[in-house]
């Protein structure tokens, strides 16, 4: 069994609200991550998000993110890693929403290589995970990333790298608004709105460069990204803990 005092708990002053009083239940690490963001009008995104959630805006527009990275250490609290199960590439498509004053993330899709992880995430977190053939390879500072969803058109290929030294985003900036989020929202099988709290240290962001060869991750929802260059940020690693979901009172959301 592993220690139950997680490294992320050494700092909590950056959180926008207190952590849940009950025990956290899952742990994981997010590694070699690239945030890729585009501004998209809120009215375009509204049909993709439950009415109980408010789509947030920064400087008059909402944003959509495509986030390739590698998962590691994915396991229940205090259980050891399982080879072949606890580490795998992942690719997220996410929006920025709020309920009851708590800003969080709404996932349009999550792709992963691991069939057990896909099943578990659908079963326990009610998230729209998909099985994909994926690879993440480090070549010096470069990360070469490829993903192709099984049975669908969603594909992503890119080479990306960090630039400059790590830093913490300042509150009030776009990069802080996009990245420093401490919950995710989902719908239960019976349509109830759920929120999972998460915790980690502030993101150790770096500026980034990327060559995106292919990105059809928005094809399944028939959403076209703007022609403008995306906003890029890199993070080498954050260690994360996750709580079981709370059901949200949609009347007060």
Whether residue 251 is predicted with pLDDT greater than 90 in this model: the reply is no
Across the range 35-46, mean pLDDT stands at: 98
Average pLDDT over residues 145-166: 96
Query: Which pLDDT score, from 0 to 100, does residue 124 have?
Result: 78
Q: What is the pLDDT of residues 56-66, one digit of tens each?
A: 999 999 999 99
Range 85-101 average pLDDT: 93
- Kindly tell me if the per-residue pLDDT of 83 is higher than 80: no
Q: Compute the average pLDDT of residues 175-202.
A: 96
Superfamily of the domain at 25-247: Acetoacetate decarboxylase-like (2.40.400.10)
Task: Name the pTM for this structure.
Answer: 0.95
Band (4; pLDDT cuts 50, 70, 90): low
On average, the pLDDT of the chain sits at 93
CA triple 179-40-89, angle to 5 deg: 45
pLDDT attached to residue 85: 72
Report the pLDDT value the prediction gives residue 247, as an integer from 0 to 100.
Answer: 93
Is the CB of residue 165 less than 8 Å from the CB of residue 179?
no
């Amino acid at each position: 069994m592993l220690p139950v005092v997680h490294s992320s708990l050494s700092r909590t002053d950056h959180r926008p609200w207190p952590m849940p009083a009950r025990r956290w239940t899952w742990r994981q690490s997010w590694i070699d991550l690239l945030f890729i963001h585009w501004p998209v009008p809120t009215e375009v995104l509204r049909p993709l998000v439950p009415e109980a959630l408010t789509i947030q805006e920064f400087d008059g527009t909402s944003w959509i993110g495509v986030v390739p990275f590698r998962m590691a250490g994915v396991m229940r609290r205090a259980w050891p890693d399982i080879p072949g199960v606890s580490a795998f590439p992942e690719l997220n498509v996410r929006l920025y929403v709020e309920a009851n004053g708590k800003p969080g993330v709404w996932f349009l899709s999550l792709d992963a290589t691991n069939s057990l992880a896909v099943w578990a995430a659908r079963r326990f977190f009610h998230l729209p995970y998909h099985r994909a053939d994926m690879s993440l390879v480090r070549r010096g500072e470069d990360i070469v990333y490829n993903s192709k969803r099984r049975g669908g058109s969603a594909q992503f290929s890119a080479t990306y790298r960090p630039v400059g030294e790590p830093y913490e985003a300042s509150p009030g900036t776009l990069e802080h608004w996009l990245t420093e989020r401490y919950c995710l929202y989902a719908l239960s099988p019976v349509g109830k709105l759920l929120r999972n709290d998460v915790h980690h240290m502030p993101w150790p962001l770096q500026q980034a460069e990327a060559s995106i060869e292919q990105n059809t991750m928005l094809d399944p929802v028939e959403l076209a990204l703007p022609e403008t260059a995306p906003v890029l940020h890199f993070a080498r690693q954050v260690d994360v803990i996750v709580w079981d979901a709370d059901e949200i009172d949609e009347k007060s959301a």
